[in-house]
């Protein structure tokens, strides 16, 4: 049973009434797939999907045929999960709960030997009352890593430092920043090319298609995990150069009349900011139009409303769809934005008004954790039927 199933669901009621044995999805996974595997788990508020995909690709390029379970579709594989061969299994380790009858975080079932702690912020306001509750779950996760394992954590995340300070029985290494064991030096400001260092030693250079400092940090974490799995560094850097990212991570959906349309799985102000910062570094002075849907519970209920303006500062225009269920004043928030903004009740109205304002050279980033009413197809189709001015 996954965490989507609730009491009152006919299938669930059928199982309960007939006393049919049941367990949560994460527990089933642990007992049937992860048992006796070297589990490499990637946790954190941001970057789990990309880092998991990177790590699985590194192992695959070495011929190890790792198993993996990733909350997205890595384009190198075209699938989100496979059993693979022993010993390695890469898993995106989510802190969300397991099921209505198992309220532990899913990652507590995975028992990793290699654990990446990317970052930690408040999220999932529908099940966690505050950041302290999430830290406690991460502390429980740290307690499951064996003494002959490795914990790889962001060097400058205070929340992760607090988690580790609660007790840690496993060797740790850090990444990112000036003092991380694994560090990067940008060659291209947009993060598309950088050098990697461990301590004072230069390990190699990455030249790839991804953008943003957040993806550089994702790469550093994956490199550290690959080293723990004894993957030759030459293979690691070859894998990075051929990595194709994950669908819905600043994925180009199309280009029409000089306008580029992207799809990005944005669900948190930090994720929005890092995506736009990376794109700004790439496109320089070209216009960026952010099209935002408040899709997740945390965004929809306004938990992060005080941080959204700063997260969108790199956008030249912000266009939003009003959520169907919301108890806060989005229009009032948008009035404080320094750039032009607009708020619409329907996707069709949004598309009609947006397309009329676009010009050649624009970069339109649709940011949502849902299908957003087919907005990408509607924008591209509308662009094909209008005259676009040159920016």
Say yes or no to pLDDT of 391 above 60: no
State which of 187, 218, 241 marks the end of a domain.
Answer: 241
At residue 308, the pLDDT reads 87
**227 and 256 together in one domain:** no
Alpha-carbon distance of 367 to 262, in angstroms, equals 8
Residue 196 belongs to a domain: yes
Alpha-carbon distance of 292 to 369, in angstroms, equals 10
pLDDT digits (tens, 9 = 90+) for 235-269: 999 999 999 877 777 888 999 989 999 998 876 78
At residue 239, the pLDDT reads 95
Stated pTM of the model: 0.83
> What average pLDDT score do residues 134-156 get?
96
At residue 260, the pLDDT reads 93
Q: Classify residue 201 by burial, with Cβ atoms within 10 Å: 0-12, 13-18, 19+.
A: exposed
Q: State whether the Cα torsion 113-94-249-341 is positive or negative.
A: negative
Residue 1 belongs to a domain: no
**263 and 136 together in one domain:** no
| Residues β-bridged to residue 97 | 105
Confidence of residue 389 (pLDDT cuts 50, 70, 90): low
At residue 15, the pLDDT reads 97
Tokens linked to 86: 């022993």
**303 and 217 together in one domain:** no
Tokens linked to 269: 């102000």
pLDDT digits (tens, 9 = 90+) for 197-226: 998 899 999 999 888 888 999 999 999 999
Q: Above pLDDT 90, what percent of the chain?
A: 69
Backbone angles phi, psi at 90, to 5 degrees: -100, 130
> What average pLDDT score do residues 179-184 get?
93
> What average pLDDT score do residues 150-166 get?
96
Confidence of residue 33 (pLDDT cuts 50, 70, 90): very high
Domain of 261 in residue numbering reads as: 251-390
pLDDT digits (tens, 9 = 90+) for 287-336: 999 999 886 666 666 677 788 889 999 999 999 988 877 677 888 889 98
Alpha-carbon distance of 357 to 341, in angstroms, equals 12
Helix-strand-coil percent breakdown of the chain, rounded to 5? 35, 25, 40
CATH assignment of the domain containing 72? 3.40.1190.10
Say yes or no to pLDDT of 227 above 60: yes
Identify the three-state secondary structure at position 255. strand
**110 and 176 together in one domain:** yes
Task: Tell me which of 123 and 354 has the higher pLDDT.
Answer: 354
Q: Above pLDDT 70, what percent of the chain?
A: 96
**What radius of gyration, in Å, describes the C-alpha atoms of the chain?**
22
Alpha-carbon distance of 173 to 221, in angstroms, equals 10
Confidence of residue 153 (pLDDT cuts 50, 70, 90): very high
- DSSP character at residue 297: H
Q: How many domains does the chain have?
A: 2
CATH assignment of the domain containing 356? 3.90.190.20
Identify the three-state secondary structure at position 326. coil
Tracing tokens 């320094």 back to the chain, one arrives at 338
**231 and 278 together in one domain:** no
> What average pLDDT score do residues 153-167 get?
95
Tokens linked to 203: 């390990």
Alpha-carbon distance of 204 to 314, in angstroms, equals 31
At residue 390, the pLDDT reads 58
Contact criterion met (CB below 8 Å) for 99 and 27: no
Confidence of residue 388 (pLDDT cuts 50, 70, 90): low
**220 and 259 together in one domain:** no
**278 and 354 together in one domain:** yes
Identify the three-state secondary structure at position 161. helix
Nearest to 188 by CA among 271, 270, 285, 281: 281
Confidence of residue 72 (pLDDT cuts 50, 70, 90): confident
State which of 181, 206, 241 marks the end of a domain.
Answer: 241
Residue 82 belongs to a domain: yes
Strands (E), 96-148: 97-99, 102-105, 114-117
Alpha-carbon distance of 280 to 274, in angstroms, equals 10
At residue 296, the pLDDT reads 66
Say yes or no to pLDDT of 12 above 80: yes
Alpha-carbon distance of 162 to 107, in angstroms, equals 19
Alpha-carbon distance of 140 to 283, in angstroms, equals 42
The four Cα atoms 142, 144, 147, 150 give a dihedral, to 10 degrees, of -50
Strands 172-175 and 150-154: parallel
**60 and 182 together in one domain:** yes
At residue 383, the pLDDT reads 92
At residue 282, the pLDDT reads 85
State which of 241, 267, 294 marks the end of a domain.
Answer: 241
């Amino acid at each position: 049973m996954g965490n989507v199933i609730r009491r009152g669901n006919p299938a669930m009621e059928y199982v309960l009434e007939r006393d049919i044995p049941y367990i949560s999805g994460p527990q089933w996974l642990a007992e049937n797939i992860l048992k006796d595997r070297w589990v490499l788990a990637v946790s954190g508020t941001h970057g789990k999907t990309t880092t998991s995909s990177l790590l699985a690709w590194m192992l695959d390029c070495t011929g190890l045929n790792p198993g993996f379970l990733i909350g997205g579709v890595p384009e190198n594989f075209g699938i989100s999960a496979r059993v693979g061969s022993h010993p390695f299994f890469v898993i995106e380790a989510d802190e969300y709960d397991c099921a209505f009858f198992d309220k532990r975080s899913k990652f507590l079932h995975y028992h990793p030997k290699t654990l990446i702690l990317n970052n930690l912020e408040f999220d999932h306001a529908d099940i966690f009352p505050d950041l302290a509750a999430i830290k406690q779950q991460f502390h429980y996760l740290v307690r499951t890593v064996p003494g002959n394992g490795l914990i790889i954590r962001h060097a400058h995340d205070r929340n992760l430092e607090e988690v580790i300070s609660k007790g840690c029985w496993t060797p740790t290494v850090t990444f990112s920043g000036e003092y991380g064991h694994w560090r990067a030096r940008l060659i291209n400001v947009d993060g598309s090319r950088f050098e990697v260092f461990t301590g004072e030693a230069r390990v190699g250079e990455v030249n790839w298609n991804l953008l943003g400092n957040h993806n550089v940090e994702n790469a550093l974490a994956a490199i550290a995990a690959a080293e723990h799995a004894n993957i030759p560094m030459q293979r690691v850097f070859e894998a990075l150069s051929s990595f194709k990212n994950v669908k819905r991570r600043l994925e180009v959906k199309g280009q029409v009349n000089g306008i580029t349309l992207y799809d990005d799985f944005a669900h948190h102000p930090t994720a929005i900011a890092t995506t736009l910062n990376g794109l700004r570094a790439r496109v320089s002075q070209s216009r960026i139009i952010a099209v935002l849907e408040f899709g997740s519970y945390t965004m929809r209920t306004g938990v992060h409303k005080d941080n959204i303006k700063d997260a969108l500062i790199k956008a030249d225009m912000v266009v939003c769809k009003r959520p169907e269920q919301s108890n806060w004043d989005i229009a009032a928030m948008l009035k404080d934005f320094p750039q032009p903004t607009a708020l619409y009740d329907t996707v069709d109205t949004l598309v009609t008004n947006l397309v009329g304002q676009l010009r050649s050279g624009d970069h339109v980033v649709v940011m949502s954790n849902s299908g957003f009413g087919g907005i990408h197809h509607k924008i591209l189709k509308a662009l094909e039927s209008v005259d676009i001015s040159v920016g």
